[in-house]
Structure 1
């Protein structure tokens, strides 16, 4: 399987070895996700323990990268805008060397520009999205098609771990984030679910490097392997209720490390409004309440859930579905109030660190 790179603004001749002149601009894009459905420790095909996760995909927000090569400059001479995107810069340098090696050409530096609307520090894969968009933009500028496995390897080298965004859209995957490889394709698609997203911790960004490293024992392995089997069955049967049970169990286990003060209220509200469960990013503050979209009175339940969350100081952010209609938006950002606030901005960027925190009734769409 190979990734189809976006078209460059200016395409060089196929017989040229190396990037085009300074007018050639490569473009890449990558989506984000909404945290995890399942994350823990599992056995790989060789029976080896391996940390892995299953992300909850979300269309809409993402990162876009534009890369302009500068022929004759050193390959580590990459200027990035906004400044401070060190992981994306590292990914650009790695991708430059990879593309040059594939073409037997000399690598060079260039100019990288990133834009995007993914909140930083909430566990939505903002840095991975930047990194993958960057790799795709560099490859596009060089006219190279990089397979997803190569992109995954470069992403792991650039940031130490990677979500499986280079494989999206696609089937749900159990993905070893620190190794950049798929442990298992769980089936064709997730069961249908409507998700009311929200932000815990006041929407403050989480410094994942400051979190304690996960420590798993033999009992944890048994538990997560059981959840893996449950999720496999949920996907096979299209069982939204079982999906919710797996996500809730994983979120509950993750509280040993994240300790969200609002978690009891989140699960209590989910039970009260007839949701099938909750999911939480295991490296941030983004969370979601999961509903079966076939549930009678779904819109009324979503509105009630949003109101109850706000009463507990939990900010509703958006509604989206795992199976968005092609004729409707995949996700919806509620309109903030005039007195909404934002978290601390990402270093060197204009991208918000957290979602708008509306203090009035959230406007939610039909799904």
Structure 2
């Protein structure tokens, strides 16, 4: 059994300031509706991990102040404020204290609205920072529960990086697919000119039995890709999931992405199902990797699709660092 919480430093005194960090992701490899272990339909997703941008939170706790005196900077991070209140209500009783007020300060460079998990990153960083102010470390299951309450649905950024099929509206793991995804090199880009996607304005998908069977087949293929380290199969699953997501998102650039992927020898395409970020996936063991990536960047830019960053899910591989710019210009709107 994992304890509800445990001291970060056994025997340490109360800590009034807590700090924490949470990473983001690069959209989904797979997202749809799946069956849980009881045979019930459940929305689920598998995210593409990415190092680099993230959210950092600092929480200054003020014991004795009313819980309503809780402020967040930037002030528009309302989900983060809810997360702080929930975390205070969770952590204070564990230390024999009453919930109080305080101040949260968030920093980080995750673009908002592109489907990179910016709100979940904020929420997790805040929950961890509040816990840290009590000298506590909350288990991932508790953080997931609080994150769902704070934002109604969340990404699995609180987990240990293993590829999981995650029920984003329930905050629970449907399946651990294996120890690690097959490593890929990703040429990132943004669709729709990089304009944020208002997912709440999109039509709610209705899935029939055939849809569920199709997603379960993709789940089985992704499981096989993880177990065998098959990069090409991973790319095929991502492309199939992105294609099905087109029924809801309708990105005008989708056909161009898949055409470029085929022309330059990418193993597949992945698109955030709740945003505008996308990526062309390459096998890092490909002997022609450098020329393929360069050709991909040229083709995307010539098509009018802005490139963002080329990164790999391995720290260093074949001369591609974990996070490098592929854009000729830098701007705050780029990922």
CA contact (8 A) 1:33 1:124 kept: yes
> Gaps spanning 5+ residues in structure 1: where?
343-351, 357-367
CA-CA distance at 1:193 after TM superposition: 1.1
CA-CA distance at 1:5 after TM superposition: 9.5
Are positions 1:130 and 2:122 aligned together?
yes
Match of residue 148, structure 1, among 140, 157, 167: 140
Are positions 1:355 and 2:334 aligned together?
yes
Q: List 4+ stretches of structure 1 deviating above 6 A.
A: 2-7
Match of residue 88, structure 1, among 80, 84, 90: 80
CA contact (8 A) 1:6 1:28 kept: no
**SS of residue in 1 equivalent to 2:147:** helix
Match of residue 289, structure 2, among 287, 298, 301: 298
Q: How does 1:321-360 map to 2 (within 5 A)?
A: 321-325=312-316, 329-334=321-326, 336-337=328-329, 352=332, 354-355=333-334
CA-CA distance at 1:4 after TM superposition: 9.8
Measure, in 1, the Cα distance between the counterparts of 2:30 and 2:172: 16
Match of residue 78, structure 1, among 70, 77, 90: 70
Measure, in 1, the Cα distance between the counterparts of 2:106 and 2:326: 25
CA contact (8 A) 1:5 1:140 kept: no
> Gaps spanning 5+ residues in structure 2: where?
none
Deviations 1:104-132 (A, max 9, x none): 31110101000001111000000000000
Cα distance 1:284–1:2, how it changes in 2: closer, same or farther (>3 A)? farther
Task: Please name the residue that 1:114 is paired with.
Answer: 106
CA-CA distance at 1:76 after TM superposition: 3.0
How many equivalent pairs are there? 333
Task: Please name the residue that 2:21 is paired with.
Answer: 29
**SS of residue in 2 equivalent to 1:355:** coil
Match of residue 278, structure 1, among 269, 283, 289: 269
CA-CA distance at 1:145 after TM superposition: 1.7
Q: How does 1:1-367 map to 2 (within 5 A)?
A: 14=11, 19-20=14-15, 24-168=16-160, 170-325=161-316, 329-334=321-326, 336-337=328-329, 352=332, 354-355=333-334
CA RMSD of aligned residues (A): 2.1
CA contact (8 A) 1:5 1:139 kept: no
CA contact (8 A) 1:5 1:136 kept: no
